Structure 1
Amino acid sequence: MKILDYISQERLATFESFTDTQDRAIVLHNHTLQLGSSLMSMIALFELALRNSTNHQLVTDFGDDQWLLPGSTKIPLKPFEVKAQKTAVRHARKAAYSKLSYKEKTYLDAFAYPGGVPAGATHDEKARERQRLFVVSHGQVISQTTFSFWKRLYSGDYAGTLWKKSLKKVFPNKDIERADVAKALEVVYATRNRV
């Protein structure tokens, strides 16, 4: 097989525009992949640090260590973040459910369907009902939130409610502005998605 069977001509054309031969374009392509891999490990560490330091500060300032769990929050979240929070809870339940054996999963039917499993219930419907039984922890939900969720907490939408009261404390440099943080997070987010 030729290299173009693995890398499309369209993709390789981008790299050929910066080089004088196809071989050099392939080398540049491979270097780009290596760079992306290195960047992703740093971005993952940054995302983890941002998520945990932001959570810690919000818990400290708002006094709600369960703020990401449905119905527990004293933190004024906007509709986008509320939706993201619900998605994270659903994903946390799904992750916990996926660790069960088939026998353990079917055992949950007695609790999910006290009157018996309805005739014609699909596999997906049964899985969703079983997953709703799981009580997940705040930490499990945090691990399922997206970078976008945390980035949005630093947006202008939260300037008065979260930045001034709490999130400014995440950054030791007191001269730093919310807009600068938001802009930097947007760059990291775009880079992450591109990588």
Structure 2
Amino acid sequence: MPDERDNHQALKDATRELHGAAMCLWAEKWLSAERLTPYLEGCDGNISKALELYKWNVSLGQLLMRDISYFEVALRNAYNDVMESRWDGEEHWLLDDASPARRPVMRKSEKGMLDSNRINRKTIDAAAAGLPRGFTTGSLVAGLTLGFWVHLTDRSREAVIWRSCLYRAWPKGTNRGELQERLYGILRLRNRVAHSERLFDPKRGELSPRKVDADAVGLLRLLCPEAADFLYGDGALPLDEFLREHPAPAEIEL
């Protein structure tokens, strides 16, 4: 016959299971079953630990978004400074239809000839339309997305923008293709953070939080070393400091 202690333990176990089931119900309602699953898998099905891992993932995203935003500000201002110094059109380079960022740049594709700058024009015009009348060009620069700045130096614009202007924003000898891969990684991970996606156990190397944080900080040092020294000193990678202070509640990879 089970003694009183066995009955007490069985009751505790049953209560714990009911509590866990109830947590799963509202967690699925909140996050969706699909989005909750990777956290449960990372915590051997323990819902309490899975939710702690979710909170930790959000905190990791906040760190990454901070470092990416520091870099984004430096990138847009460096590119704007270079373009302003080289452009002598009637209007600002973002608004002048003759600018290399706006004029048609045709390239071959599977669907025929496409204008690489068609999205640029729409992005700029949409940002301008959202600003008050008489806006400054500085407000327009600040209102454009990270994606806009990253794609200014993609392969389709190498001849019209990179070789003519934007290479000057970077140290001599910078390889555009290698730089672009780092920029794409920063942009892709930023978008994952913005959409509250899982950041740990990345399926592709370019989505590694460790790599992206190192790239964001490293590229900021190239654009404005004084700002990087002010923000980070010459110490460890911010992600490493975060992990020391906030270890992950499960075995994960970054």
TM-score by length of 2: 0.55
Conserved? CA contact 1:69–1:138, under 8 Å: no
Conserved? CA contact 2:39–2:53, under 8 Å: yes
Residue 68 of structure 1 aligns with which residue? 94
Residue 153 of structure 1 aligns with which residue? 152
Indicate whether 1:80 and 2:80 are aligned.
no
Residue 44 of structure 1 aligns with which residue? 69
Shift of 1:178: 0.9
Secondary structure of the equivalent of 1:69? coil
Residue 58 of structure 1 aligns with which residue? 83
Secondary structure of the equivalent of 1:88? helix
Residue 12 of structure 1 aligns with which residue? 36
Indicate whether 1:188 and 2:186 are aligned.
yes
Q: Deviations over 1:61-118 (max 9, x none)?
A: 22457222355x54352222111111111022xxx3xxxxxxxxxxxxxxxxxxxxxx
Residue 169 of structure 1 aligns with which residue? 168
Distance 2:96 2:160 in 1: 19
Q: Deviations over 1:139-182 (max 9, x none)?
A: 1211221112111111112111111121111112x232111121
Distance 1:70 1:164 in 2: 20
Shift of 1:135: 2.4
Distance 1:171 1:38 in 2: 25
Structure 1 vs Structure 2: percent identity of aligned residues? 25
RMSD, aligned CA:
2.0
- The AA in structure 1 aligned to 2:63 is S
Conserved? CA contact 1:88–1:142, under 8 Å: no
Conserved? CA contact 2:124–2:144, under 8 Å: yes
Instruction: Point out the structure with max Rg over C-alpha.
Output: 2
Q: Deviations over 1:36-65 (max 9, x none)?
A: 011111111111111110000111122457
TM-score by length of 1: 0.71
Secondary structure of the equivalent of 1:158? helix
- Number of corresponding residues: 153
Q: Which runs of 5+ in 2 are unaligned?
A: 1-21, 103-116, 194-254
